[in-house]
Structure formats: C-alpha cells, structure tokens
Structure 1
C-alpha cells in the first residue's frame, strides 16, 4: 500500500451549512426543519494544527476498516500509538497504514482485509509510527 502525503495548511476557518439534527434517510422532513447553522470542518476534524497532515490511501489492505483506495486520511502525529489504533507507519522505509496490535509477543501491523497477512515487526526492522488516523474522508 502506498500513501500520498499532504501537509495541513491553516488559512482560516471556512464555515459551511450544517444540519445539526441529522438528515433522515427515510421520508424527507419539511424544509422549515433546516436551521441554517454553519460548521467549520477544520475545527471538527483537526485538533492539533501543527501535528496534522493528510494522506491519500492507495490500495485495499484496510478496506474492512472503511478505508478504500483514494480515500483521504486525517492523521494526527501528536497522538500516542496504542494497541488497536490505526496508524500511518514507516516500516523499513515504506509507508503503510495498519491497525496496531501490541501484545506480550511483540508489535504487529494488522491489515483489515483477509487477503493480506499481518506483519510481525522484528527487532532488526526499523518501524516509525508517523501518526494516528483520526478520520477517513470518502468520496461517494
């Protein structure tokens, strides 16, 4: 899996229309239910501006975690890597995104697609955790 990286550049918050009560997937609600509130996606998706970057997914090893080829990941480098979190990692010079599994036997990079094998990180391999995935932005 390859990742393409994009640095977050703060240019001021842009507010877009927001329907606070949600949008019904069944029978449409009357137009007067729309309150006209506005939201900033920057404020919602980015908690630490200087430590946040974006990466575009290339591949399908994380498809069962909802990450498809072409999706945009929001990654926060200030978050601590933890067991069960999805992380952008560099293993032996190659970037990948995988779920972390840490147990008494070691550290594993676990794909979310049964077609792929988990990777046990050995002591002689260089592993760098670049950041923790906080959001996935999908095109529909």
Structure 2
C-alpha cells in the first residue's frame, strides 16, 4: 500500500465557499453570497508534517461513511481516543476501524457483516494515525445511479 503525503509547499488552490449552508432536511432559501475562498489543504491538514493520505479498501466502515476508493486524511500527531476512526497496523497490514478503549481495547468495524478485532489475538498492533477527514466520490459508490 502506498502512502501519500501533502506537498510541503503547495500552491494555494482556492475554491468559492458560499455563505449559506445546504440543508439536508427541508430546503432553505438560496443565496448567491460568497463567504470567501476555501483551500482544502488548510481545512483538512492541521499538521502537514504528520499527515498522509490513504485510499480506503473494503466495506467494513461503510456505516461511518467510508467507502471503497475514498481518500482518507490521516494525522499521525493526534493521540487516538475512544471512538476515533484510526489506521492500525495489525500483523503487518493496515486496517481502518473505530477504536474502542473501554471496557477493553478492540478495533470495531462499522458494518455488521464484519467482526470486531481483538488485538490481543494478533502478533502486533500499532495505532498509526487518526482519520480526520474522508473525501469520497458519490458517483463511484455502490448503489448510485445516474438518472
């Protein structure tokens, strides 16, 4: 698996950011007012030297909105907390799971078709980083159909 890291001196790429939010419930009146410009590097990468990107593979985390092919923004400088989605290096391979610290350490999937991982059953476990953002392409997800 190839890890990708942010460009340490990226050219700023800003995209218009609208002042009003898009309602996920009842529609709200539209507005053409811009709040400003948004650079996704400054929004998604708090610690550039400790941040890397990974592509998600498999379907064990669909319940938290992580689908195959999604780009995960991972920060190695954060201390993993109970409930964080983490990248774990387990017996030499990467896995994405929710970290459970209480009542005991486990790595939990977010899809009932998959079983939790009990790290004491593995040879080695290293928490590699905390997933801070997920960037996905809705058109590439299963179940999407263009009309």
TM bucket (normalised to shorter chain) is 0.7 to 0.9
Structure 1 length normalisation: TM-score?
A: 0.86
Matched, 1:121 2:119: yes
Residue in 2 aligned with 1:34? 33
Deviation at 1:39, TM superposition (A): 1.1
The change in CA–CA distance for 1:29 and 1:126 in structure 2 (over 3 A counts) is: same
Report which structure shows greater RCO (CA 8 Å, sep ≥6): 1
**SS of equivalent to 2:101:** strand
**SS of equivalent to 2:88:** strand
Question: Larger strand proportion, structure 1 or 2?
Answer: 1
Residue in 2 aligned with 1:90? 89
Deviation at 1:28, TM superposition (A): 6.2
Structure 2 length normalisation: TM-score?
A: 0.83
8 Å contact 1:4–1:57 — kept in the other structure?
A: no
Unaligned runs of 5+ in 1: none
Residue in 1 aligned with 2:13? 14
* RMSD after superposition: 2.0
Query: For 1:20-48, what per-residue CA distance to the aligned partner results, in whole angstroms no more than 9, with x for missing partners?
Result: 22235637625xx3337211111111100
Number of aligned residue pairs: give it. Answer: 135
